Amino acid sequence: MNTLQETAIDGLRGQLRGDLLQGTDAGYDSARQIWNAMIDKHPALIVRCADSADVRAALAFARDNGFRLAVRGGGHNIAGNALCDGGLVIDLSRMRAVHVDSSARRAYVQGGALLADVDHETQSFGLATPLGINSTTGVAGLTLGGGFGWLSRKYGLSADNLLSAEIVTAGGELLRTNPTEHPDLFWAIRGGGGNFGVVTTFEFALHAVGPLVTAALIVFPFDQARQVLTRYRNLVPQLGDDVSVWAVLRKAPPLPFLPENVHGSEVVVMAFFSPLPPDEVSAELNLVRAFGNPHGEMAGAMPYVAWQRIFDPLLAPGARNYWKSHNFADLGDEAIDTVVRHAGALPSAHTEIFLGLLGGQASRLAADAIAYPHRDALYVMNVHGRWTEPGEDDACISWARAFFAETAPYASTGVYINFMTQDEGSRIAAAYGGNYARLKAIKQRYDPHNLFRQNQNIAPAA
């Protein structure tokens, strides 16, 4: 690095309330670690922002000095887009404040907040907004890609519940965007990913949820997998919006309600959730129990915040991860057979296949209501290839790719951008579907030089 560059960097440091880290600085290595341990990138500069002014200063520096730019919210993205080699990272991880206006049922959330931060604040008022299933996920990346979880059948996607946002654009402006102010930009950030700027504050609608909800994990033997998944598929059309049931196929973790001899064996886990009290959904829960003869279960009323953390131990940072994903409008017999066959040959103790259930309110908006287009997706299948040792890379990645290829004939055309790995550039048009051309035009308006390209990138129309 020459003297001129060092002088410019010193000038940037002087503008910040937060920190600027370079490769030789204490804390640099920990700052470049993110959730997926397969990602090993070395940015030239990491700006740990304290406020929107820091974001604007860092963005201007990257733009004016030709640095590649990445934006880190929660650092949970599978593709590792929170970092870039040799460039500048705008790190929002210190901007995690959440403010709740309980009377208006609104939450104002900074761009570095995690799901746990939002749930902690909103649940103190018995309120919630639809987010994901892992409390360490970043709210920003989740929402910008669409976002779905346990409340989505009742209240829609995370992006459907976004009321406004403050965003720093490629030109350095701090804009407030909502249905009446920069409505084209507001449309685009609800599903278009991080292509349009750095969102520093999100405003979400809140709904009465909790503090207690009904939840269950019901674990079935793997030799009942076809029967369980078939009965699951047949039950789904009968479910109301207040019930969500997801299927997970994996090796059994050492759950306390399972016999010890089941630990480590292949199982099918049905995860049942409802914001209603147990006595109002007992019939639906009994129907899930009747899918087969379970090894064991945990069921009943529990705090919503506890349920939101229930899968955290299985998704902790530090493991190597490779995902593959499809959307399904239905689960035919051939699709179920393919899922079961591959679930019987899991390449690691940590790998899992999950089928997340959408439908309900998540499917009622038009495909072009916001940038997220996949309203026909009833099931989102994600293959969590997950392991601990680099020597397992080839086997685990090959298994995931083979499974992905064999299930493709039964899938719908779309894909959820938050589940796409860094080698899936060919699927970007499918991720944005019929909204792709409009997104490219909005990208041209707000980021004509594609400064925000460290993502599932939408190139400017021109």
Query: Tell me: the pLDDT tens digits for 132-141?
Result: 999 999 999 9
20: enclosing H helix or E strand = strand 19-21
Over range 167-191, report the average pLDDT: 98
Closest CA to 84 of 451, 367, 458, 459: 451
**Residue 1, pLDDT score:** 57
Name the pairing type of β-strands 88-91 and 69-72: parallel
The class (CATH top level) of 212-419 is alpha beta
How many other C-beta atoms can be found within 10 angstroms of the C-beta atom of residue 225? Answer: 23
- 146 vs 413, which has greater pLDDT? 146
Over range 6-15, report the average pLDDT: 88
Peptide bond into 221 cis (omega under 30): no
Position 222 pLDDT exceeds 70: yes
DSSP secondary structure letters along 167-198: EE-TTS-EEEESSSSSHHHHHHHTTSTTSS-E
**Residue 3, pLDDT score:** 63
How far is the C-alpha of 145 from the C-alpha of 18, rounded, in Å? 27
Q: Which amino acid is at 143?
A: T
Closest CA to 188 of 175, 207, 205: 175
55: enclosing H helix or E strand = helix 52-65
pLDDT band for position 331 (cuts 50, 70, 90): very high
Over range 160-180, report the average pLDDT: 97
How far is the C-alpha of 438 from the C-alpha of 365, rounded, in Å? 18
Closest CA to 363 of 379, 375, 349, 351: 375
Asked if 244 contacts 213 with a C-beta cutoff of 8 angstroms, the reply is no
Question: Please, which residues bridge with residue 89 across strands?
Answer: 46, 70
How far is the C-alpha of 32 from the C-alpha of 45, rounded, in Å? 10
**Residue 344, pLDDT score:** 95
Closest CA to 62 of 37, 44, 48, 79: 44
Q: What is the pTM of this model?
A: 0.95
SS3 21: strand
- The alpha helices in 256-322, defined as continuous H runs, are 282-289, 304-308
Over range 108-125, report the average pLDDT: 98
The class (CATH top level) of 18-91 is alpha beta
Residue reference for tokens 């570095």: 112
Question: Please, which residues bridge with residue 128 across strands?
Answer: 207
Asked if 357 contacts 271 with a C-beta cutoff of 8 angstroms, the reply is no
**Residue 304, pLDDT score:** 97
How far is the C-alpha of 64 from the C-alpha of 192, rounded, in Å? 25
Quote the distance between the C-alpha of residue 384 and its chain's center.
13
DSSP 8-state code for residue 192: S
Position 225 pLDDT exceeds 90: yes
Residue reference for tokens 């190139």: 459
Position 199 pLDDT exceeds 70: yes
Per-position b or e across 163-186, b if 16+ CB within 10 A of its CB: ebbbbbbbeeebbebeeeebeebb
How far is the C-alpha of 156 from the C-alpha of 133, rounded, in Å? 14
* Non-local CB neighbours of 433 within 8 Å, separated by 6+ positions: 367, 373, 374, 413, 414
Closest CA to 263 of 279, 251, 274, 277: 251
The class (CATH top level) of 98-209+434-446 is alpha beta
Position 325 pLDDT exceeds 60: yes
Over range 253-269, report the average pLDDT: 95
How far is the C-alpha of 460 from the C-alpha of 444, rounded, in Å? 4
**Residue 4, pLDDT score:** 58
Over range 124-128, report the average pLDDT: 98
How far is the C-alpha of 317 from the C-alpha of 315, rounded, in Å? 7
Asked if 293 contacts 224 with a C-beta cutoff of 8 angstroms, the reply is yes
Q: In what order do the strands lie in the sheet with 98-101?
A: 98-101, 106-110, 198-205, 162-168, 174-177
Backbone angles phi, psi at 120, to 5 degrees: -60, -45
How many other C-beta atoms can be found within 10 angstroms of the C-beta atom of residue 80? Answer: 20
pLDDT in tens, 387-446: 999 999 999 999 999 999 999 999 998 899 999 988 888 899 999 999 999 999 999 999
Per-position b or e across 366-402, b if 16+ CB within 10 A of its CB: eeebbbbbbbbbbbbbbbbbbbeeeebeeebbebbee
pLDDT in tens, 372-387: 999 999 999 999 999 9
How far is the C-alpha of 461 from the C-alpha of 193, rounded, in Å? 16
Residue-range domain boundaries for the chain: 18-91, 98-209+434-446, 212-419
